[in-house]
Structure 1
């Protein structure tokens, strides 16, 4: 069995990672919002603290330039990409659909649909498939102040 540490919404609170460094896991997956609107300088050194393979996507509060930082690091950036690990395929889509908050990494529903249509072509129905997304599907644990804020395009692709 493979043990995976899944993290999201660090928002630059890197000191909290120390609690996880002593656990035994085989990989780390980060589902976005590594920073809180930046800065980007500490990201590579923070992620290099993990001594196992690390896979990540940006969140809506990450500057778009975080993709360049992730691609230059030892972390595998899965934004608009996919990877096969044995009988598991992980497709990634970072950022989020448009929000009322005007965050730095927002995509239109059309952009989300186009990218998901492209990357799900690489998923094999004979293996386990995971969509790594920062944004929730519309109608699934996606309410803010009683309003649904999830992505209709993500919902379309996961149902």
Structure 2
């Protein structure tokens, strides 16, 4: 079995465990491939859909499509919101800016948690220095006291081969 296929298998197993242990706050809506290389993940947490005046309009269900390309894990995945979101690190066409620091060591469950933190405007993930959405950046700079907009955590004990790893929002 090729390295990519083994990684995709491990990612699917670990993501399934994360979802199973997330208490209904995460769901795999769809997946493509065997092993899967494309997912639609549903997040059930609070995020900002848009502004009404200067006030956020919240939404509590978000869907994200994650595509693990042919050069994954060497190359970062593509991630795009399928539902509206207002965030400085999300491009107007809803592509998620994952930054330039992708490392092969980041697992799919860790990426899923990182995107959850983006939705919630977590302090340690929200990057105002390199915004994808300037309007959202300006609003966020003036409204930092409102963050995070949710503190929902997704916890799981994930097993990789013979190694157990505990991950949660607080780890990132």
TM-score by length of 2: 0.29
Q: Which has the higher contact order (CA 8 A, sep 6+)?
A: 2
How does the TM-score come out when normalised to structure 1?
Answer: 0.31
